[in-house]
Structure 1
């Protein structure tokens, strides 16, 4: 279990780039984008400055999650090749600084969201941060192969938060957007974990490919893709969106399903032979961006 000791007692002074790296900016792009789409798809638009502030708060909240995750998992990150050069395991920052940065960023984002928009949006933002840090990072990730299934809820909050920041209330469409990301997370993340499973095995993290093997993981990827496709298309027959979104969602989801089928049929055990998994992982990122972009276009064209 991680301790409060520094991974490297001779830590070098951190600069601004290390604090940016703590926020996991590559992950933040998708979080901010889906939050923005939730806000833009809402029936009522807040003033520009308040809308910008709401998205800024979502970004800061996501950054807080990244910083606290890296604070807690510094020892684990040091054991994995793809994370060993992060500020903490590389010894460029001490863990106390990362902890204070993450807590301060999270508290500020929630307070600012409440003051700028409404306290329901602030409460959802706080819930997403606490869920990611306490439920996923601290409890689920080191204990169960189903960590990403339940923990995926943390990344599903942004469109719901964006909608509530604009309207002050929850509605069916943002709940479906939450469900789409929640169901999208396992196939997206398991596709990645299949070709980096040696890292997770070395760090002792019970990801599904490590615990149950590639065959079971590939089958689960396909199984989770089915309800994700249903949730993605559902807004159209429920008359929550128009044909622009509905047809686009059907086409995008069909491609996702085909790629998930290719993954399920693959029997490779070496990362070099896991082309279908790499293709699905890359497409899954494009899929979510495209799906939410089409949603906003559909709402604005209506």
Structure 2
């Protein structure tokens, strides 16, 4: 959704932008091109491999216009504060990247055997370490809430039992176990898909970092600037939608009050009434874009710099 990102981010020559999820560098490259000749970009990613890819792809061409930072996008406010200048626009493309999914050694996919890893960066424990330290109650909660999987208690028990017996060595071992436990279901997707999603979210604390990032928007983006957040499943989109709404209407007064007494003013204006989705042509070229949901907002002028 490169064109949609550039449109809603309102990228202009000479602007200063932040790409919170550098990934393979596609959006970063487009922002640098659209902001040429003197636009600047900070590209952030928690995955050192992603930054190496972006560096090889863009560093020579962009020169000093591009700054790479190995961090989580939930640290964007700290990164911006160190530079003393808020951005004209901030993009966050949440979720797992195509490179991470396609590389078996990262442990995100069950299409080929890989290690029980699932880390988006070195700042979190591996899936194996997570399973070693978690309880059945917590794992069942993760599978139920993050994967919306029925029978989560039984699935959690089966996973931890097999893991403790040394029967889970690879991602395909885990997928086969889940498929056997979920046999008889009518899902059109592989039975392990949502369990893998839940485990990935838990290992990387994805939803926690996403909500923290959304709440930082007024600290990262200058008044009049924009933020664009892309999500790929309902849990992410719900966080973005609801937190955008809270920033746009922060009033805490009871609904029956005739006028606002709390004094909390809107910090942003939501620009997308509904989430923006990929067009048919893009979905045909990139089937993963089918799940993408884009939401955008504009930061309003405010009297306090410590929002």
More relative contact order, 1 or 2 (CA 8 Å, 6+ apart): 1
Q: Same fold (TM over 0.5)?
A: no
- Which structure's CA Rg is the greater one? 2
The two structures have a TM-score, normalised by structure 2, of 0.27
The structure richer in helix per residue is: 1
The two structures have a TM-score, normalised by structure 1, of 0.28
